[in-house]
Chains A and B, each alone.
Chain A
Amino acid sequence: MNDQAFLKVERMSVGYGSTTVLDNLDLAIHKGEFVALLGSSGCGKTTLLRTIAGFSKPFNGSIHVANRDVTQMPPDKRGMALVFQSYALWPHMTVAQNIGYGLKLQKRSKDVIDARVNEMQNLLGLGGLGARKPAQLSGGQRQRVALGRALAIDPEILLLDEPLSNLDARIRLTVRHEIRSLQKRLGITAIHVTHDREEAMVMADRIVIMNAGRIEQQGTPEEVYNKPASPFVAAFMGAENLLSMQARVNGDQIELAEGAFNPSTVTARSGRSLASGPVQLRFRAEAARLAGSRDTASAEPGSLELRGQIASVSYPGGHWRHAVRLGTDEILVDADTAFAEGETVKVRIPAQSLFIFNAPQGSAAAPAH
């Protein structure tokens, strides 16, 4: 796979001064692929992007584009264009001058520049705004000017550093689709840094989840959502409910020991690499089913059944969200109908929605997000 990769980052370490931000990182991206670097702030995703762009120099390791070593090249020789989080538009230039600046630097003729700027303005829905200054534009328009400025020089790789984080929530939803369809239409390779899970899921072909300077997992949105490889990824992808249990691995089966709130359960191993001992269970609020305590419908094979008490009920929209108390733990479970506070309920979690990991040595600290 690495041989046909268009952009290849190999064994790269980056840092500032004596702090290492990224350590020995490998990443391969194919031509035309849209890759999202997803992680919480401080995980190194922006550093990775800036190093690929050429604004940070790696301590060691290499970056190749189309088998060309670009590790030591200046930013403009790499065939990449970066869209900044703050847009970084030049306030003293008009929209047309901003978009055309890259071509002016390439010493193109005025006609060529004008034609390309027009093309970009039409492509991005900025027609008629060419003479305006950035201060006279809305947030969404500025964002598109920044995109136009990057695309005008016809880069091979488009780098996006949280380009949507400064937009209103509603505009953000439409711009997501605009950027994605533009990228598909132009067939350009794109790397998109974000901390917004949904944004990454909707836009990317492949999601690279980063944590503490390492790649935790990469795969299609469906893979990372349904088969998280680590507790961090599970939590980051929304499986916030956390339970601790004892497990015994037996061939293709995992036996979860009986606890204060659950009977013993046997579930399929489904290829998980797991050792017997204390485990962390994670699942999403919407994946669990809630039933009254007298509900006698037998649980699906392999699903985990918990018994708890409703602590509180809220309505975030579309469904009811219940906080269910299990001793000192509390989990969140969604249901279509509301249960009464204090009611004793059964919580059933289907086998495929149950994420099981060996409990980390020492503290079982889980990321807050």
Chain B
Amino acid sequence: MQKRLLAILLVIPALVMIVLFFIVPLGASVVGAFVVGDTYGLGNFSKSFELYSSDMIFTLLIVGVSTLLIGLFSIAIGGYLTLGENQRAVAVLRWLYRWPMFIPFIVVGQILRTFLAKNGLMNNILVSLGVLTPLQTVGFLDWRGIVIAFVWKQTPFVTLLVAGAMASLDRSTIEAARNLGASRLRILIEIVLPQITGTLLVGLILSFVTMMSVLSVPLMINAQSPTMLTADIAFRINAHGDYGVANALGMISLLLTAGVALIYLRQSVKDRS
């Protein structure tokens, strides 16, 4: 009896933290999403869909495309780190690829804003090299800018997981394929990749959820319509004090991520069994 009491006492601080700082705020905003004036209703949701349904699709497309590109790049980088034969190139890549991980999203947004703008650094370079004339330049400060920022920032994280999983593979499974005459690309696709799909999936899902919640990048790069849901939520609160619609939009992005998180949970259950 004494022991049980002690166990409960030990758990209580953690439990209180979770309830106080996670469950209560979440519950409050879920409830808040249904508060319309003095009563409860679906008004906030209908308003959300009316005003922001194109932003919802925009958000999903941007994050989806980014996730896809992050997957491709991390497989390519991880694959080269694992199968590359030029030791020096492998060492340089290993040293380089992690850097963006340590740069905050807001800084990424700012860097890319000055780089990708119509008269930004990238176009200036292209013009001075004679590749483009000033009239031909195009700014990338729209959905493309956001995708570039997300991919730039999140690829190292997924690569870190993917390259780690590849490095811990039994190397002789790779050598056995080489012994039979498989090219490096085939080894990557047919031997290495199937053995690390679990890790890749987890990395991509965590990236997806992170990108869904980033506010700074859409604000810095593309604040006009259509934009991402995070920018809309900030706008509802800051400009209108409209917590109801903000909560409803929050609920909607929560549901979008929940679908992806479900895949993650099923994967981790499968890994543990």
Contacts and interface: CB of A to CB of B under 8 A. Distances in A.
B170 A88 contact: yes
Nearest to A159: B179
Contact of B173 (A53, A74, A81, A89): A89
For the residues of B in contact with A, the DSSP-based class is helix
Interface stretch (B132-140, B180-188, B208-216): B180-188
Contact of B176 (A54, A77, A82, A91): A82
A105 to B, nearest CB: 5
Contacts of B191: 90
Given A88-B170, A90-B191, A105 B182 contact: yes
Contact of B179 (A75, A89, A92): A75
Interface string B175-210: 111111110001000010011000000000000000
A153 interface: yes
Interface residues of A, number: 24
A138 interface: no
B181 A105 contact: yes
A76 B179 CA distance: 5
Interface string B221-251: 0000000000000000000000000000000
A55 B195 contact: no
Contacts of A225: none
B172 A88 contact: yes
B198 to A, nearest CB: 11
A149 B175 CA distance: 13
Given A84-B172, A85-B172, 7 more contacts: A55-B178, A74-B178, A75-B175, A75-B179, A90-B173, A92-B195, A105-B182
For the residues of A in contact with B, the DSSP-based class is loop
B182 A88 contact: no
A320 interface: no
Interface in A90-128: 90-92, 101-102, 105-106
Contact of B180 (A86, A89, A153): A153
Interface in A50-65: 53-55
A74 B178 CA distance: 8
Q: Which 8 residue pairs spanning A and B have beta carbons closest together?
A: A76-B181, A88-B172, A102-B180, A92-B194, A88-B176, A84-B172, A105-B181, A88-B173
Interface residues on B, range: 10 to 19
Nearest to B172: A88
A110 B176 CA distance: 21
B181 A102 contact: yes
Nearest to B182: A105
Nearest to A81: B179
B195 A91 contact: yes
Contact of A82 (B170, B179, B181, B186): B179
Contacts of B195: 90-92
Given A91-B195, A92-B195, A84 B175 contact: yes
A75 B182 CA distance: 10
Given A90-B191, A92-B194, A76 B176 contact: no
A237 B6 CA distance: 64
Contacts of B178: 55, 74-76
B181 to A, nearest CB: 3
22 contacts: A54-B179, A55-B175, A74-B178, A75-B175, A75-B178, A76-B178, A76-B180, A77-B181, A80-B179, A81-B180, A82-B176, A84-B172, A84-B175, A84-B176, A88-B172, A89-B176, A90-B191, A91-B195, A101-B182, A105-B181, A149-B180, A153-B180
